[in-house]
Amino acid sequence: MDFNDDALLLSEILAKLVRAQERKLSEDHPQQTTAPALPTEESSKIEPTKEKKKRCGCCNKKLGLITFPCKCGGEFCALHRSSEDHTCSYDYHADAKRALSTMLVKVEAKKVDVL
């Protein structure tokens, strides 16, 4: 039995294994081809949206630069900006209740702290 031949074979197998391993590694971690994302032309193509004339949600009066947005999502003229002056859909009662309940919770928490 020729020991040297065996050793040669072994080293060959080992070399093959190493090569295979290296190939596998390079497959697992391919060189990242991070091409810089060029700004697409689309962004420059977008037309400036035509300015819609805002109107009061109550009297439909054209609003100028100054509008009065309400919590209900509408925008109103100076005359109708207050929730009482337009048919406001915003639930102020729920809002007040929520505020009250959080206030109460805070008060209770304070009480607990004192005790």
Binding site for Zn ion (CB under 5 A): 56, 58-59, 61, 70, 72, 77, 79-80, 83, 88
Kindly tell me which of 66 and 114 has the beta carbon lying closer to Zn ion: 66
Kindly tell me which of 90 and 103 has the beta carbon lying closer to Zn ion: 90
Q: Residue 11: what are its φ and ψ, rounded to 5°? A: -65, -30
Kindly tell me which of 6 and 95 has the beta carbon lying closer to Zn ion: 95
Compute the least distance from the CB of residue 92 to Zn ion, in Å.
Answer: 9
Dihedral angle over CA of 80, 82, 83, 88, nearest 10: 30
Compute the least distance from the CB of residue 68 to Zn ion, in Å.
Answer: 9
Burial (Cβ within 10 Å: 0-12, 13-18, ≥19) of residue 80 = buried
